[in-house]
Amino acid sequence: MTTPTPTGQTNKAGLTKGDYRGFPSTLCQGCGHNSIANQIITACYELDIVPENIMKFSGIGCSSKSPTYFLNRSFGFNGLHGRMASLATGALFADKNLRAIGISGDGDTASIGMGGFKHMVRRNAPIVYIVENNGVYGLTKGQFSATAEVGLNLKHQGTNQYMPVDICMEALASKATFVARSFAGDAKQVKELIKAALSHSGIAVLDIISPCVTFNNQDNAFHSYTWGKDHEAPLHEISFVPALEEIELVGEFEQGSVREVTMHDGSTIILKKLDKDYDPNDRANAFQTLENAQMNNWLLTGLIYIDTTRPTLTDIYNLVDTPLNRLTEPDLRPAPETMDKINARMF
Amino acid sequence: MVAKKIINNFSITIATVNGSGSQTANVTLLRALFKMGIPVSGKNLFPSNIQGQPTWYTIRLNKDGYTARCDGPEVVVGMNAASFTHDLASVSPGGAFFYSDDIKQPITRTDISVYPMPVKVISRAANVSPALREYISNMVYVGVLAQILGIDMVSLKQALYFHFKGKAQAVDSNFGTIDASARWAAENLKKTDPFFAQPMATKSEYIMADGNTAAALGAIYGGVQFAAWYPITPASSLAESLNIFLPQLRKKQDGKATYAVLQAEDELAAIGMAVGAGWAGLRAMTSTSGPGISLMSEYSGLAYFSEVPIVVWDVQRVGPSTGLPTRTAQADLTSTYFLGHGDTQFVILLPGSVQECFEFGWKAFDLAERLQTPVFVLSDLDLGMNQWMTKPFEYPDVPMDRGKVLWEKDLEKLAGVWARYKDVDGDGIPFRTFPGNRHPAAAYFTRGTGHDENARYTEGAENWEANMVRLKHKYDTARTMVPKPAVSNMKGSELGIIAFGSTEAAVREARDIMKKKKGLKSDFLRLRALPCTKEVFNFIQKHERIYIVEANRDSQLRQILSAVMPDQARKFRPAAHNDGLPLTANWIQDAILSQEEK
């Protein structure tokens, strides 16, 4: 749980934190996914988002259960294993004013749903695509997932022999416009990245290492809390400033020690330099940085890549201003006099 | 050889190499004959190949209006050296054989008229670039056939004008070759065959179109808002037709679109997108063929269970597996009816004409949204890809039915009290809301897992069963809403025939033949939808022997009807057959008579 909000306190949308909650989690105590759900609640509350303006999607798996644990007042669809991408893609056309949050897992995205994931990425669908990545299949009791590291030992499974899929690398390769990695144990960074992702107009891929306390939390396992805490290598300290809020940097940061990314909605992502400067607009460097992290076994976190210039999936379609799902017969059925013309166009 | 003239009652097969541009020539012939007022049909028998393989196009002219594929052919055009022997042998005795004279193969038949055509010489004389010469060479046989059979030159020019969308240069160069070839034939060939095409004075109430175009137009008049698809023969041209006509019919004056069409990465995604869009309140569809239906199985089950309206067009081809991807069949009926794991029941529409492809194009959305369930429309390659004479498309005669939807004002009236899966009206159909509805009580969580009336997760045994019983009840409601069958009776007949889809023309012809030649009368029910309406039950109860005619091996409709009406199953007799070709009247009457005479 995050910092409790005093009862009755409301945000600018006139809502209390309670208006953003979901049902109680049925996942294991200590599951990283619960922490992520809480950060989504807090991020949306702090951003004054009206929950009715969000759609939630998921595939199948432990991760995909979690959309019921946040934003009860948002529509949600828990679809098929590996098929969240297509489900969300279709729904995004219904009302282009809505924001979408998709929750998937490493099995759901990097195995069965890899194709759909990469195609959703290349279309720049407007969605926050969160992968709750724990390297293991939980609901089916502890099989290796495609993100499990080589040499990982799991009870009943033996030793993993295959190379892991790097979700951020896959997203980059598919020309994602927002790629970030975080660690469920780093709640603040998760929250700030979710806020940034929600203000991004295209696809925002968040690969969040989210330990499975039941099946894959041995101290030496890449996706464990211990490993994450010991090996997290943040690219920068990230903070998100919503539109219309003053950015107070003077005196706080030394000159040249921060980067600012301005988003379409007027908000700003502030990236405070840590040991060295990192430019999240440089795609080639992003690849190289991910490669280095892999070689050195670092859990690299932060905003790896961002491009705010590409049109989104729904932009490309030049849709009418009214949400498509509010159009009625006069907009949808061509007038009767067109029928003769169409018949005349046949031979 | 003085044979009695045979007028407007024969068939022509044109043997060419695929990818050589012969389709333009063939469709030009078909359209010209149609313009002459002659009932006509054209069927393209093409290989699964881009270029270089044998392909055949069959045109049937029939003054009595029988347009099914028939045995024959009486007239054959041989343009392909590779299939020459086969093509020559295929000519019916007393028929005519036209061939390109650069094919130096022996003419072994003496019972037919033979016409060599100097295709190379004439096309070389045409004033076109060498690149276009091969295409234009196909117009040589059009011109020669026009001269020998009597096809009207004005009609040919009209057909070209239509095909080339009025582009004068293309029309002129093609027509120039047709004209030169006709003149050459007039000077050099002596007609010895008995076949004539003659204009008929029938007032043409028909248009000519293919089923995939009709389906797309129907969907547009049905208000389609979202279509996702993946390329597959023979369904691709359906989605491509959406891309042609939607910008013309459904854009606002400012150029903004009221629709979106998306080519997906595979069929899994195509239906997934349609389900997402249907769930979110759009009229959503996908179009595919059998292999795509197989891939769409899991999502179909989800849409059935979570009660999401979508329309799925299956333009059937021959399976299983890749099968014969460019040949026709009616063999996805069983797999679609039972699609998905667990207990599922799907609404299936069965268009039997191009006009009906249009009609079901819009009707399918009304049914899907009213019933909140996937609606499958089973067309086939023959109906979908071939040009058919058809009645003009008719503007929808009822307003759009968007089904039971609650918006903000509705929820205010209900004080926000509603339940997504509650059967309020006793018809098994609940109410639904769409994302974007800002009422705080509007949202619900959709899932493929067990849920209660409020869409909340439950593994409760009673909840599960009650929901499944309601879905079954909803399917019974569908029974009262789907299109009724088309029934045509002959007075005093005892025999029943049931068929569906594109076999309609062949069944109609077979019934007339059986009546004329054997005095055997029959009543005919053309099934237009599943589940069966009460008219279907009545028809079956009224007849003692019922032949079920269909283009598949296993008599799939008979299997389904036997399961639906086990007490009537003893009456059903199979007349099922599939070799990739449309059924003929001859085959149907043989199948029936051979069992009748037992």
Asked if the peptide bond before residue B73 counts as cis, ω within 30 degrees of 0, the response is yes
Within an 8 Å CB–CB cutoff, is residue B405 touching chain A?
A: no
Structural domain count, chain B: 4
Nearest to A19 by CA among A34, A41, A2: A41
| The residue to which tokens 């299983």 are assigned | B320
Separation of alpha carbons B316 and B332, rounded Å = 7
A98-102, B199-203, B515-519, B522-526: which range is least confident on average?
B199-203
The full DSSP string for A60-92 is SSHHHHGGGGB-TTSEEEE--TT-HHHHHHHHT
Q: Are residues B158 and B66 in the same domain?
A: yes
Residues of A in contact with B442 (CB under 8 A): 52, 75
How close, in Å, is residue A284 to chain B by CA atoms?
A: 26
DSSP classification of residue A51: G
Nearest to A317 among B207, B257, B446 (CB): B257
| The residue to which tokens 């008995």 are assigned | B194
Q: Please say whether the beta carbons of B561 and B569 come within 8 A.
A: yes
Q: Are residues B52 and B131 in the same domain?
A: yes
Domain of A296 in residue numbering reads as 17-316
Average pLDDT of the residues in A43-68: 96
The full DSSP string for B532-557 is --HHHHHHHHH-SEEEEEESSSS-HH
Please answer yes or no on whether A79 and B448 come within 8 Å at the CB atom. Answer: yes
Residues of A in contact with B433 (CB under 8 A): 75
Please answer yes or no on whether B439 and A116 come within 8 Å at the CB atom. Answer: no
The full DSSP string for A248-309 is --TTTS-TTSEEEEE-TTS-EEEEEE-SS---TT-HHHHHHHHHHHHHHT-EEEEEEEE---
Within an 8 Å CB–CB cutoff, is residue A52 touching chain B?
A: yes
- pLDDT at site B598: 72
Please answer yes or no on whether B257 and A319 come within 8 Å at the CB atom. Answer: yes
Within an 8 Å CB–CB cutoff, is residue B275 touching chain A?
A: yes
- pLDDT at site B133: 84
Output helix, strand, coil percentages for chain A, rounded to the nearest 5.
35, 20, 45
Residues of B in contact with A323 (CB under 8 A): 436
- pLDDT at site B518: 93
How close, in Å, is residue A139 to chain B by CA atoms?
A: 14
- B202 domain-assigned: no
Residues of A in contact with B285 (CB under 8 A): none
- A162 domain-assigned: yes
**pLDDT at residue A159 tops 80:** yes
Separation of alpha carbons A145 and A163, rounded Å = 11
Separation of alpha carbons A127 and A91, rounded Å = 11
Nearest to A98 among B220, B270, B435 (CB): B435
DSSP classification of residue A244: T
Separation of alpha carbons B271 and B340, rounded Å = 13
Phi-psi region for residue A54, left (φ > 0), alpha (ψ -120 to 50) or beta? beta
Within an 8 Å CB–CB cutoff, is residue B206 touching chain A?
A: no
- B132 domain-assigned: yes
Mean confidence (pLDDT) of chain B: 95
Separation of alpha carbons B567 and B555, rounded Å = 18
Residues of A in contact with B284 (CB under 8 A): 90
Please answer yes or no on whether B272 and A320 come within 8 Å at the CB atom. Answer: no
Please answer yes or no on whether B268 and A116 come within 8 Å at the CB atom. Answer: yes
Q: Are residues B298 and B310 in the same domain?
A: yes
Nearest to A89 by CA among B443, B438, B299: B299
Domain of B540 in residue numbering reads as 486-596
Please answer yes or no on whether A324 and B259 come within 8 Å at the CB atom. Answer: yes
Please answer yes or no on whether A52 and B278 come within 8 Å at the CB atom. Answer: no
- A222 domain-assigned: yes
- pLDDT at site B18: 85
Structure confidence at residue A6 as a pLDDT band (50, 70, 90): low
Q: Are residues B375 and B308 in the same domain?
A: yes
Q: Are residues B412 and B466 in the same domain?
A: yes
Nearest CA in chain A to B297: A80
Write the CATH number for B14: 3.40.920.10
Mean confidence (pLDDT) of chain A: 93
Residues of A in contact with B355 (CB under 8 A): none
- B52 domain-assigned: yes
Which residue out of A69, A95, A333 would a mutagenesis test of the B interface target, given it has the greatest number of B Cβ atoms within 10 Å?
A: A333
Within an 8 Å CB–CB cutoff, is residue B392 touching chain A?
A: yes
Q: Are residues B217 and B136 in the same domain?
A: no
Q: Are residues B566 and B528 in the same domain?
A: yes
Which residue out of A87, A92, A319 would a mutagenesis test of the B interface target, given it has the greatest number of B Cβ atoms within 10 Å?
A: A87
Separation of alpha carbons B335 and B101, rounded Å = 49
- pLDDT at site B19: 83
A107, with CB counted inside 10 A (0-12, 13-18, 19+), is buried
Within an 8 Å CB–CB cutoff, is residue A79 touching chain B?
A: yes
Average pLDDT of the residues in A205-219: 95
Structure confidence at residue A2 as a pLDDT band (50, 70, 90): very low
Q: Are residues B563 and B576 in the same domain?
A: yes
Please answer yes or no on whether B256 and A318 come within 8 Å at the CB atom. Answer: yes
As given in the structure block, the two tokens for residue B425 are: 């009206």
- A296 domain-assigned: yes
- A148 domain-assigned: yes
How close, in Å, is residue A57 to chain B by CA atoms?
A: 9
Write the CATH number for A238: 3.40.50.970
pLDDT in tens, B156-194: 999 999 999 999 999 999 999 999 999 999 999 999 999
Please answer yes or no on whether A329 and B400 come within 8 Å at the CB atom. Answer: yes
Going from the C-alpha of A14 to that of each of A9, A45, A46, A50, B536, the distances in angstroms are 9, 10, 11, 9, 59
Q: Are residues B320 and B177 in the same domain?
A: no
pLDDT in tens, B88-121: 999 999 999 999 999 999 999 999 999 999 999 9
**pLDDT at residue A7 tops 90:** no
Nearest to A73 among B208, B265, B440 (CB): B440
Return the SS3 of A105. strand
Within an 8 Å CB–CB cutoff, is residue B519 touching chain A?
A: no
**pLDDT at residue A122 tops 90:** yes
Please answer yes or no on whether A325 and B252 come within 8 Å at the CB atom. Answer: no
Residues of B in contact with A317 (CB under 8 A): 257, 260
Asked if the peptide bond before residue B531 counts as cis, ω within 30 degrees of 0, the response is yes
Average pLDDT of the residues in A5-11: 76
Residues of A in contact with B264 (CB under 8 A): 86, 119
Q: Please say whether the beta carbons of B311 and B453 come within 8 A.
A: no
Nearest to B393 among A95, A343, A347 (CB): A343
- pLDDT at site A1: 38
- pLDDT at site A252: 52
Nearest to A331 among B258, B395, B399 (CB): B258
Residues of A in contact with B262 (CB under 8 A): 89
Write the CATH number for B279: 3.40.50.970
Nearest to B258 among A92, A332, A343 (CB): A332
How close, in Å, is residue B436 to chain A by CA atoms?
A: 6
Please answer yes or no on whether A332 and B277 come within 8 Å at the CB atom. Answer: no
Within an 8 Å CB–CB cutoff, is residue B583 touching chain A?
A: no
- A39 domain-assigned: yes
Q: Which of residues B483, B505, B522 is at a domain's end?
A: B483
Alpha helices in B104-235 (DSSP H): 119-125, 130-145, 153-163, 168-188, 211-221
Angle at B205 between CA B201 and CA B210, to 5 degrees: 120
Residues of B in contact with A319 (CB under 8 A): 256-258, 260
Please answer yes or no on whether B280 and A90 come within 8 Å at the CB atom. Answer: yes
- A346 domain-assigned: no
- B203 domain-assigned: no
Give me the residues paired with residue B43 across strands.
B58
Give me the residues paired with residue B2 across strands.
none
Average pLDDT of the residues in B49-66: 92
Within an 8 Å CB–CB cutoff, is residue B445 touching chain A?
A: yes
- A7 domain-assigned: no
Q: Please say whether the beta carbons of B260 and A94 come within 8 A.
A: no
Residues of B in contact with A56 (CB under 8 A): 445
Separation of alpha carbons B40 and B67, rounded Å = 6
Q: Are residues B456 and B558 in the same domain?
A: no
Going from the C-alpha of B49 to that of each of B18, B84, B267, the distances in angstroms are 8, 19, 22
Structure confidence at residue A249 as a pLDDT band (50, 70, 90): low
Residues of A in contact with B275 (CB under 8 A): 79, 86-87, 90
Q: Are residues B160 and B216 in the same domain?
A: no
**pLDDT at residue A5 tops 70:** no
Write the CATH number for B500: 3.40.50.920
Q: Are residues B75 and B170 in the same domain?
A: yes
Please answer yes or no on whether A347 and B221 come within 8 Å at the CB atom. Answer: no
Asked if the peptide bond before residue B320 counts as cis, ω within 30 degrees of 0, the response is yes
Within an 8 Å CB–CB cutoff, is residue A113 touching chain B?
A: no
- A300 domain-assigned: yes
